[in-house]
Each structure stands twice: as structure tokens, then as C-alpha cells.
Amino acid sequence: MSDDQQPKRAAKRDGGPQRDLDGIYRSERHGARDSDDATTIRPKRQLPRTDPALEVSSGPAASSTATDRVAMTRRGRTALFVVAALVVIAAAFGITASLAGMQAAWVVGVIATIAVICVAALGSTALLTIASTILPGLGLLGARSRRAKVVGVALPVALLALIAWAGFSASTDLGRFAGFAVNPTQLRTLTIALVAAGLLWVTLIAGTHILTRPTGWGVGRRALGAVLVTAMSFGVAGSAALAARYAFDQQKLVTTVFADENDVQSTSRPSINGTEKDPWKNTPRLNVMLVGADSADARNPLNGLRADTIMVASIDTATGATTIVQIPRNVQYTPFPEGTALAEQFPRGFRGEGDPAEWYINALWDKAVMEYPDLMQGATYPGAEAMKQGVQGITGLKIDYFVLLNIDGVQRLIDAMGGVTVNINERLPIASNTTGKRPTGWLEPGPDQHLGGYDAMWYARSRSTTSDYARMARQSCLVNAIIKQANPKTMLSSYEAIAAASADMVMTDIPQQVLEPLVSLSLKVKDAKVSRLVFSPGKNGYDYNRPDFEVMQESVQEAIRSTSVNPSITPKSTAPATTAAAPPSATPSPSPGTSSSAPPDLVEGAQGVEDACAYNPV
């Protein structure tokens, strides 16, 4: 082997010559050949070996790698920004859609379709994203980060625990649990909590998708993933926005209709402590006066009104058994409780000079406000207080609260409920009156007739072919139908319309502080026995010209005893100080607007509403 080949082989054993060493070898070899006195070759120069990693970092590939990393970072940030923007848009669209009242079935169908497509195209990432939509953060169990996994366990467990607690509370004491819906402070807190929960949930959906998404996805898959996140966020944001809006509307309804107890002055408010375990222990019966009036009067009750409908709901607070006492609007000589200013002003009952119709019980509200304002000084609703005392004088029941119902508001409530079903026992004219106005249509007899708000109102108000007393009987049937047919599905699906109608329909002196126990009581009423007592000519002590108030009060007591599940409970009553004496009359004359005989559904004593309102054509 020649001497000039030895360095090359040695270089190969050391890993092969590098480019810069080749030149050295060549120059040395050439120099040795050209020199006459060169007898040996110089030993090769030992250069330090270069680290391959350092070579890459300092070569052209290093620049390319750094550029790729920057590009990947920028694309990641862009993708994150796009997803975040889509989430915000989805949340906004979800809120807008819920406000616009989009059909839930249509929305769910679109979201489900997108979910199926994305699962087929994106696999486990789509499934994990959907999992975080079903339970907040559940999909984070598929993330690589340990912290994300902890969140994926903690949040779903917390939500399930909350749901379990709510279910247990509702099953053990539904009334107290439902009372949450009439507490303004809790409703305000719930509204804020729902908005915050919706935003957090949407963030978890987007975070799950980003943390579980493979790094090698192309533009198409990233775009499809963004669509999935948008759809899931839309569903959650829309639902949270809808729930928050319902809570806000309910809070607004409660504060609009029901005042704080310190803001309402009343002469007959019972002592009810809503925070006690049994708030009704000192109130065995609750007596609520219901007054119906035309819209024009009901909108300005402080200026006086003429009542179109007067009834009392006397409720057994232990069982919910309810007796509805219906009072003719043309009762004369109304007595008042002993010791009241009205009893002193009208010792012989509510009567005076002029047209007798100006001294009917339905004119008492108007008279107290317009002509005798000093008799009810200090009362927030002087007309209502006067009516409460007058109704107490007629029935013997101490009236605890009043509720004024706007007839148009009731019509809108029935429409919002989707109508009511009643039995119609005789042909009834629509939009006619006793002065000769011709009807615009007729309600035909038949069982289980489903009526919208307008027809239902004429079912309750029509009297041109019957009488005031027959109309009173139908009114209790309508009230019972509304109570029995209102259900959670109807209330939730049409809540906004129902809330709006209720706010415009009701005025009352019931304070906010007793709403929670009233909710519990209303649940008892819905499932308990309801009966009615109608004062009609010759029935239950009533006569238009000579009403016998003592017999009328005894009839009320007997009706309550027959309705109550526990007859030992004595109804709360107060006899009036004065017994109004009607002027002598040789021949009693029929009351205005009555037929020659009472219809067959008006009977002596109490009658179960279900029986009274059954289909029994005249």
C-alpha cells in the first residue's frame, strides 16, 4: 500500500473525510510529489470533530425548521382565534335565537345533524367535544394534561350532585322547592348564575376541542372542528340564555305584581311567617276575594271601578280543599263588620239616594274611592279594602287578601295556555248584550269544548239569553278549568306569554313575603276537592229584594264544612255588626237580568265543581 493511501483509509476509519479536509489532503499530496527533497509525507492535521446537531443548527436546515415552528405557532394562534370568534358568534346567535323564539325541535335537529357528520369525519375529538356539551368538561378526560383530566372529573361530578340535590329537594318538599320561583332575590341570583354558567360551559366546549385535537390536522378538518364547536356552543348558549331570560321575566313579574309587605297597608292582613316550617299553623283557612273587572276599570283601580265578577276562594290550608263562594254583583243593602268606619257610615247597610244600581255591592269600590275617601284613610287600595269589608259582611268570612283580575288579561292568559276545555250545556251568544245588540256568533252546546281566550271569555260573560246567575255558575267552571288544566309543560313552553298576560291581569295586596307558602298551598289546591256555593234567587238565603244575610252566612259555613276533608276545622268567620233590613215588599220582583227560573245547575248548598260543570244540556 502506498504511503499516500494511508491517510485516506485512516480518515475512513474515523468516520470519513469531510469536505474541508479533502482539500488539505490534495494540497499535501501534490506538494510532496513536486518537491525534490520530500522523502516523507507530513502527518495529517487533526481537526476537532464537529457535532452533527451543531451542524444542523448552523446550516440551511436550521433556518427552515425555525420558520416552520413560527408558522405552526401562528397557525395555532389563528385557529384558536377563529374558534374563539366562532364561539362568541355562536353564543350571540344562541341568545338571539332564544330571544326570537326559534323552534327548539328545529334547532336540536340541526345540531344533531352536524354532530353526526363531525363524529364520522373527526372521530374521538368530536366525541369528546360532544361529551363536554352533554356534561360540562367531561370530554377533558381525553386530554393529555393531568390538570385537564381533573377538571373533566370534578365539573361533571359537581353538576350531577347539584341535579341530585334538586331532585331530592323537589321529591321531599315540592312546595318549598317551587317557592324558589317566587323569591325575587333568588331569581336575580339565578339569572346571573345562568349567564355565568353558560359562558363557562361554552369555554369548556372550545377548550376540550383544542386540547384533544391532533396536531396534524389540515385546513379542512380544522374548519369542520370549528363548525362542531360552533354548533355545540350554540346549543348550550341558547339554552342558558333562555333559562336566564325566564328567570329574569319571573323576577320582573313577581316584583311588578306583588309589593313588599312594608309597602302595602291593609286592614285585614293575616299573620303568616314564610320562613317557618309550617307557616299556616295560625291560619287554618285563607280567604281570598277575587274581583273581575273590564279592562278600562282594571287599569285604573285607584280611580274607582265597577266589579263585573265577585267571588271568594276559601281554602283549607291543611288540605287545600277549596270552597268558591259566588256573590251576585247586584246584592243590595250590604252590611259591614262591627267597629269599622263603613258600618258607622252605613248602619242599615250600603244604601243611599238615587238609582238603586248605584248602591249594589259592585259599586262599593267606586263609591269608597270617589265619594268616601276618608273612610279608608291609610289603605293602599281603599276601594279594595271597602269591598273586602262588604264581602265579609255578606259571607261572614274575614277576607285576608284581594286579587283584581283584568278580563282582557284573563283572555290573553287562556290564549297563552293554548285554550281551555269546558262543557257547554246551552247555546250561548257571543258579543251580545241585554240592550238588543245582536250576537256575532254562538257557542254551541257540547261536551269537552276547547275554547280560545275570546270564546272562553264569552262563555263566562254571556247573559243576554240566560241570567247573571247562570253566568256566575259558568265563571266558576272556567276558573276550575284554568286551575286544573295548567300544567308544567304548558307553563314552560308558553312561559313568556303567560308571564306577560299575568302581569297585565293581576293587581293584589298579597305581599312578596308570603308567596313561597302560597306556592305550596296552591299545589294542594290543584289536587284537592273544589266546591262552589252560588247565591241565586231563592237559594242559600239570597233574594234580590230581601237578602237574608244571616242565612247566607250559615250557608257559607255549611258549604265549607261539607267541602273540608277535616270537618273539625271551624271556618274563620266574623258576623257583621248590622243586619241590613230590606224595605218591605208585598210581591218580590225578579232581579235585573234574570230569567223566570234558576237554571238547573244552581242548587241549594255547596256543589262539587266537577259535578256542577259536567255536561248536562239544558
Per-residue pLDDT reduced to its tens digit, 128-139? 999 999 999 999
pLDDT grade, residue 102 (50/70/90)?
low
Range in 36-45, 49-58, 70-79, 217-226 the model is least confident about: 49-58
Portion of the chain with pLDDT greater than 90, in percent: 33
Q: Is the pLDDT at 358 greater than 70, yes or no?
A: yes
Residue 551 scores a pLDDT above 90: yes
CA atoms within 13 A on the CB side of 335: 25
Give 420's contacts (C-beta < 8 A, 6+ positions apart): 414, 450, 451, 456, 478, 481, 482, 485
- The chain-wide mean pLDDT, for the chain, equals 78
- Phi and psi for 602 in degrees, rounded to 5? -105, 115
SS3 for 326? strand
Among residues 359, 336, 279, the alpha carbon closest in space to that of 521 is found at 279
74-78, 88-92, 144-148 — which one is most confidently predicted on average?
A: 144-148
User: Based on the number of CB atoms within 10 Å of its own CB, is 402 exposed (0-12), middle (13-18) or buried (19 or more)?
Assistant: buried
pLDDT of the residue at 93: 55
Domain coordinates of the chain in residue numbers? 3-49, 83-257, 285-581+590-612
The band of 298, judged by pLDDT with boundaries at 50, 70 and 90, is low
- Residues 6+ away with beta carbon under 8 Å from 336: 342, 343, 346, 349, 350, 389, 390, 392, 393, 576, 577, 578
Strand pairing category for 441-443 and 309-316:
unpaired
Structure-model confidence comparison of residues 23 and 486, the more confident one: 486
- What is the SS3 assignment for 287? strand
Calculate mean pLDDT across residues 250-262. 88
The more confidently predicted of residues 276 and 423 is 423
**Of the listed ranges 329-338, 357-366, 601-610, the one predicted with least confidence:** 601-610
Instruction: For domain 285-581+590-612, give its CATH number from 3.40.50.720, 3.40.630.190, 3.40.1190.20, 3.60.20.10.
Output: 3.40.630.190
Given this model, what pLDDT does residue 69 score? Answer: 53
Q: What is the pTM assigned to this prediction?
A: 0.71
Confidence band of 570 (pLDDT split at 50, 70, 90): very low
Q: State the average pLDDT over residues 73-82.
A: 56
Spatial neighbors of 504 by CB under 8 A, at least 6 apart, are: 406, 408, 409, 412
Give mean pLDDT, residues 569-580.
Answer: 47
Fill in the DSSP letter of residue 130: H
* DSSP element (H, E) containing 156: helix 146-172
Find, among 111, 90, 106, 119, the residue nearest to 201 by Cα. Answer: 90
Radius of gyration of the chain from its Cα atoms, rounded to whole angstroms: 42
